Structure 1
Amino acid sequence: MFVDVLTADEDLVDPHKAMTSHLLLGTGIRNDTCGHTHKSWFTYRGDELYLDIPDFDNCRKEIDKARKGPNSNENICGSCEGSGDGGYTPKTPTSAGRQLLIPNSYKNHVTGEVEYFGLKDRCERYFAFDEPAAPTGSEYGFDMIQADGKDGFSAAFANKAVRAVGAKSDINPTLRKKRLIQEGVPNDKIRKFGTNKEGDKIPDIVAHDMRASYCTQLARNDVRTAYAMTKTGHKLEETFYRYVNFARNELDKNKDKSMF
Structure 2
Amino acid sequence: MSRRNAIPLHKKRQDAFVDVLTSDEVDLDPHKAMTSHLFLGTGIRNDTAGHTHRDWFTYRGTDLYLNIPDYDECRKEIDEARKTTNTGLCGACERAGNGGYTPKTQASAGRQLLIPNYWTNHVTDETEYFGLKDRCERYFALSDPAAPEGAEYGFKMIQAGGKDGFSKGFGSRAVRAVGAKSEINPTMRKQRLLNEGVPSDQIRDFGADEEGNRIPDLIAHDLRASFCTQLARNDTETAYAMTKTGHKLEETFYRYVQFARDELDKDKDKDMF
Q: TM-score, normalised by structure 1?
A: 0.96
The runs of at least 4 consecutive aligned structure 1 residues that moved more than 3 Å come to 256-260
Over aligned residues, Cα RMSD in angstroms?
Answer: 1.5
Give the SS at the match of 1:213: helix
Q: Which of 144, 147, 157 lines up with 2:160 in the alignment?
A: 147
2:142 paired residue number = 129
2:78·2:90 contact (CA, 8 Å) conserved in 1? Answer: yes
2:74 paired residue number = 59
1:182 paired residue number = 195
Task: Tell me how far 1:250 sits from its aligned partner.
Answer: 1.2
The CA distance in 2 between the partners of 1:210 and 1:191, in whole Å, is 17
TM-aligned CA distance change 1:113 to 1:254, over 3 Å: farther
1:242 paired residue number = 255
The CA distance in 1 between the partners of 2:70 and 2:265, in whole Å, is 40
Matched, 1:43 2:62: no
The CA distance in 2 between the partners of 1:174 and 1:194, in whole Å, is 11
2:10 paired residue number = none
Task: Tell me how far 1:76 sits from its aligned partner.
Answer: 0.8
* Matched-pair identity in %: 74
The CA distance in 1 between the partners of 2:153 and 2:247, in whole Å, is 33
2:20·2:26 contact (CA, 8 Å) conserved in 1? Answer: no
The CA distance in 2 between the partners of 1:10 and 1:100, in whole Å, is 29
The CA distance in 2 between the partners of 1:69 and 1:95, in whole Å, is 29
Amino acid at match of 1:120: K
Matched, 1:22 2:22: no
Matched, 1:3 2:18: yes
Question: Deviation string for 1:165-217 (max 9, x for gaps)?
Answer: 00000000011011101110011211000000000000000100010000000
Q: Which of 32, 35, 44 lines up with 2:47 in the alignment?
A: 32
2:3 paired residue number = none
Amino acid at match of 1:170: E
Task: Tell me how far 1:9 sits from its aligned partner.
Answer: 2.1
Matched, 1:207 2:220: yes
1:5·1:12 contact (CA, 8 Å) conserved in 2? Answer: no
Pick 1 or 2: higher relative contact order, CA cutoff 8 A, min separation 6. Answer: 2
Q: How many residues are aligned here? A: 258
Q: TM-score, normalised by structure 2?
A: 0.91
TM-aligned CA distance change 1:69 to 1:39, over 3 Å: closer
The CA distance in 2 between the partners of 1:171 and 1:259, in whole Å, is 31
The CA distance in 2 between the partners of 1:161 and 1:221, in whole Å, is 27
2:12 paired residue number = none
Amino acid at match of 2:137: E
TM-aligned CA distance change 1:231 to 1:10, over 3 Å: farther
1:60-209, aligned counterparts within 5 Å?
A: 60-66=75-81, 68=82, 72-209=85-222
Give the SS at the match of 1:12: coil
Q: Any stretches of 5+ residues in structure 1 without a counterpart?
A: none
1:16·1:145 contact (CA, 8 Å) conserved in 2? Answer: yes
2:176·2:219 contact (CA, 8 Å) conserved in 1? Answer: yes
Question: Deviation string for 1:227-247 (max 9, x for gaps)?
Answer: 000000001111100000110
Structure 1 stretch displaced more, 249-258 or 11-20: 249-258
Amino acid at match of 2:191: K
The CA distance in 2 between the partners of 1:251 and 1:170, in whole Å, is 21
Give the SS at the match of 1:103: coil
1:65·1:74 contact (CA, 8 Å) conserved in 2? Answer: no
Q: Any stretches of 5+ residues in structure 2 without a counterpart?
A: 1-15
Task: Tell me how far 1:65 sits from its aligned partner.
Answer: 2.3
